[in-house]
Amino acid sequence: MDKARIAVLVSGGGTNLQALINAQNKGIISSGQIALVISNNPNAFALKRAAKAGIPTAVITKSELGSQQAFEERIKKELQSYQIDLIVLAGFMSILSKNFTADFPERIVNVHPSLIPAFCGKGYYGLRVHEEALKYGVTVTGATVHFVNEIPDGGRIILQKAVKIKEGDTPEILQKRVMKQAEWKILPEAVEQVSKKLMNNRKVVLR
């Protein structure tokens, strides 16, 4: 069967990328195949994870290209040359403009470490999300996988999973629990779901 060709965009540690690689190896992801990893940070450990799994990588930085537009055009070029069907933002810490997202309607998914619409939008990323959840005093948080559109964290929700906050939690402890109990599970599940749908509908517009 034809598989959806997936590009994973990363910036940091890449534990979510690792979860996707593991899911692919275990057959949890069977309708898609990770064909490319793009990082906007040359020092991202995620690049090492990709290399170890034999996945081609590209480093594209905004500072080198000078503008958001040039940065996004360069990413688009790379996606085209790898005939990518589905883009996964897995800890990608750069907001993509409408110029980019409009080209890939329901073709970009993102994992966010809270239950959207709480603690999301511009400025809410990484550890900051968990700091704000603890500051607010919520007793339940979680993770969300959603489609990406021009509104930061505003696209249609695909999957969510709740995670309990415990007494004594620090942002770091909570971040780890949210990853382990939610992100590393729902991201591969959502990627399989979307890949399967894409292949069934054969709406492969990028190829």
Q: Which residues are tagged catalytic? A: 112
State yes or no: residue 112 binds ligand GAR (CB under 6 A): yes
Interface pattern 55-74 for ligand GAR (x via CB under 6 A): --------------------
Closest CB 54 distance from ligand GAR, rounded Å: 19
Task: Report d(CA 118, CA 103) in Å as an integer.
Answer: 27
DSSP letters, 147-194, are E--SSTT-SPEEEEEEEE--TT--HHHHHHHHIIIIIHHHHHHHHHHH
State yes or no: residue 171 binds ligand GAR (CB under 6 A): no
State yes or no: residue 14 binds ligand GAR (CB under 6 A): yes
Task: Report d(CA 179, CA 28) in Å as an integer.
Answer: 18
Task: Report d(CA 23, CA 192) in Å as an integer.
Answer: 9
Burial class (CB in 10 A: 0-12, 13-18, 19+), 23: buried
Number of residues that bind ligand GAR (CB under 6 A): 16
Task: Report d(CA 152, CA 150) in Å as an integer.
Answer: 6
Contact region for ligand GAR (CB under 6 A) — 7-15, 27-35, 62-70, 161-169? 7-15
Among 3, 9, 15, 75, binds ligand GAR (CB under 6 A): 15
- H-helix or E-strand spanning residue 112: strand 108-112
Residue 142, classed as helix, strand or coil, is strand
Closest CB 85 distance from ligand GAR, rounded Å: 21
State yes or no: residue 121 binds ligand GAR (CB under 6 A): no
State yes or no: residue 111 binds ligand GAR (CB under 6 A): yes
CB atoms within 10 A of CB 147: 19
Judged by beta carbon, residue 85 or residue 153, the one nearer ligand GAR is 153
Closest CB 130 distance from ligand GAR, rounded Å: 9
Residue length, the chain? 207
Judged by beta carbon, residue 109 or residue 111, the one nearer ligand GAR is 111
Among 23, 108, 115, 179, binds ligand GAR (CB under 6 A): 179
Residues of this chain that bind ligand GAR (CB under 6 A): 12-16, 46, 90-91, 111-113, 125-126, 129, 179, 183
